[in-house]
Amino acid sequence: MPAHERRAFPREFLRINLRWEDGSTAYTRDVSPEGMYVWVDAGAFIADWVAVELTDPRSGLRFRAYAEVMRIEPGLTRTGVAMRLHWRRFLRRH
């Protein structure tokens, strides 16, 4: 029997590079309106709450979010981080 899905929105598999708070490289594995799963460099600092920023240089659109870390999955070269978004804003670069 499949596990009960608790997400209100489906996740979309999408790879977007982003800036992690400590300067580590990171990218999304999947995103939804309520959360995202991110791969960060192994050894990156991961707090209980994190601020992330995604930028599209072609359009100048930026997405900033403040997220609660729900789960951390350590790996050899990358660490997976499941996050729930609590504050998010789209901003246009001037």
pLDDT for 66: 92
Q: pLDDT tier at 83 (50, 70, 90 boundaries)?
A: very high
Q: How far is CA 7 from CA 42, 57, 68, in A?
A: 27, 30, 15
Q: Where are the domains of the chain?
A: 12-92
Output the pTM of the full model.
0.81
Q: What is the percentage of the chain residues whose pLDDT exceeds 70?
A: 90
pLDDT digit string, tens, across residues 44-69: 899 999 988 887 778 878 888 899 99
CATH 2.40.10.220 applies to domain 12-92: yes
pLDDT digit string, tens, across residues 26-45: 899 999 989 999 999 998 89
The enclosing H or E element of 8 equals none
